[in-house]
Amino acid sequence: MSKMSRRQFVTAGLAATAGVSGLGVAANLAKRYGLVPPDSGGIYGPGETLTYAAQRLFARHSLAREFPRSMISKVPFANDMPPLNDAFKRLQAGAFADWRLSVEGMVARPASYSLADLRSFPLRSQITEVVCEEGWSYVAEWTGTPLFDVLKASGILPKARYLVYFSIDPDWWESIDMADVQHPQTLLAWGMNDGDLPVAFGGPLRLRVPRQLGYKSVKFVNRLMVTDSLKGFVSALDPKSPNSGYAWYAGI
């Protein structure tokens, strides 16, 4: 009897050790292959990590659905916006001729592009759905410059891991990983439905990330920052930040 329970004790101990070290190995592998999102801590960390790791493992290169022209929403919907600042209004008065997009951080050649510069890149047009975390959605045609083309032109360095992108609105910015940075559908969009991108929809320049929810598609983008760590930006992941405590990865 006591022999059996000792054997059971040893077996259970071995199983527990194997389980814990298995989890440890899995965590290490996940970290090495970039499967851990920056908000992996805290009580919601396990769920976020599972979602992010699953999508990056099984669907890293998948393309967002594109729709026929007939499905473009007749009345697209734009959220109300806070009043835009004076800097924006001055640029708007000049028809955005002086709008600049700066590319900084881990690039060989930091640069600054006008809208005309961006339009001189090969353009891409795609009819995709904007999906808001609240539940509503619409379909529009988005025209712009693939983000990665612009970063390649600036000589993005191999150690780059994230892109932080900023709106002219000082409290508005987001970040994405390299899977979405290099994704062909991630677009610096300056056109919508055969016209210039309207201000209500983020004009003159919006970063469209169609595989993630709408809040990752920041409006009025004027600054791109390539980095290997979000440590300096971690305050954005706390609930008091402008993103209201929303998940960093919004592929779900």
Partner 1 sequence: MAHAPLLRNEGPPRHTLLVRVTHWITVLSFLALLVSGVEILISHPRFYWGEVGNSRTPPLFTIPIPSSRATVPSGYGYVLPDQNGWSRYLHFEAAWALVLTGLVYVISGLWTRHFRKNLFPAPQHRTWHAFRDVIAKHLRLTSPDEADSRTYNVLQRVTYLLVIFGMVPLVIWTGLAMSPGFNAAVPWAVNCLGGRQSARTIHFFVSTFLVLFLLVHIAMVVLTGFASRMREMITGVPAAPQQRTIEHIEERT
Contacts to partner 1 by CB under 8 A: 43-44, 46-48, 50-51, 55, 58-59, 62-65, 67, 71, 73, 75-77, 79-80, 129, 131-139, 210-213, 239, 244-247, 250-252
Which residue is it, tokens 């760590």?
Answer: 229
Paired with 138 in beta bridges are 130
Q: For residues 191, 204, 219 and 192, what is the CA-based torsion angle, rounded to 10 degrees? A: -20
Nearer to partner 1, 5 or 244 (CB): 244
What whole-number distance in Å separates Cα of residue 57 and Cα of residue 61? 10
Judged by beta carbon, residue 80 or residue 194, the one nearer partner 1 is 80
CB of 39 to partner 1, least distance (A): 9
Least separation in angstroms between CB 137 and partner 1: 5
Separation between Cα atoms, residue 26 and residue 44, nearest integer Å: 18
**Distance between CA 195 and CA 62 in Å, rounded?**
28
Residue 109 region by backbone torsions, left for phi larger than 0, else alpha for psi between -120 and 50, else beta: beta
Q: How far is the CB of 19 from partner 1 (least distance, A)?
A: 14
The amino acid sitting at 213 is: L
Q: Check whether the bond before 204 is cis (ω within 30° of 0).
A: yes
CB of 38 or CB of 210, closer to partner 1: 210
Nearest approach, Cβ of residue 216 and partner 1 (Å): 10
Closer residue to partner 1 in complex, CB, 13/245: 245
Calpha distance 105→97 (Å, rounded): 25
Nearest distance, CB of residue 9 and partner 1, angstroms: 19
In the bound state with partner 1, the residue whose beta carbon lies nearer, of 48 and 169, is 48
Residue 34: φ, ψ to 5°: 65, 45
